[in-house]
Amino acid sequence: NAGVTQTPKFQVLKTGQSMTLQCAQDMNHEYMSWYRQDPGMGLRLIHYSVGAGITDQGEVPNGYNVSRSTTEDFPLRLLSAAPSQTSVYFCASSAWLYNEQFFGPGTRLTVL
């Protein structure tokens, strides 16, 4: 099993550009989530999903969209990148709520 995979590993965007961060898991987990990690802030939840077709907002959802068309995939879309979105992004999955979360290796995004 590959676990949780994320692509790309690094990305540089210009302000106003759009892009999609990919996340996939092969553990048949129902719960998937996206976090951003900034220095001194820990991990902050952007969006999460409790199953295919169901998504909800987390703590910092503005500027990001998600969809969950399959159990395996949970892409994160930046519609119009801003310098404030410079961060490291982590995708995670777990079998269900309150279970262990498995994290991907992260995507380091820089917005100029």
Partner 1 sequence: TQLLEQSPQFLSIQEGENLTVYCNSSSVFSSLQWYRQEPGEGPVLLVTVVTGGEVKKLKRLTFQFGDARKDSSLHITAAQPGDTGLYLCAAYNNNDMRFGAGTRLTVKP
Report whether 108 contacts 9 (CB < 8 A).
yes
Q: Which of 71, 85, 104, 111 lies at the binding interface for partner 1 (CB under 8 A)?
A: 104
6-20 as b/e, with b when 16 or more CB fall inside 10 Å?
beeeebebeeeeeee
Task: Between 19 and 50, name the residue whose CB sits nearer to partner 1.
Answer: 50
Q: Closest distance between partner 1 and the C-beta of residue 79, in Å?
A: 22
SS3 content of the chain, % helix, strand, coil (to 5): 5, 55, 45
Residue 26, interface with partner 1 (CB under 8 A)?
no
Q: Which of 27, 52, 58, 67 binds partner 1 (CB under 8 A)?
A: 58
Residues near partner 1, by CB under 8 A: 4, 33, 35, 40-45, 48, 50, 56, 58-59, 90, 92, 97-98, 100-101, 103-106
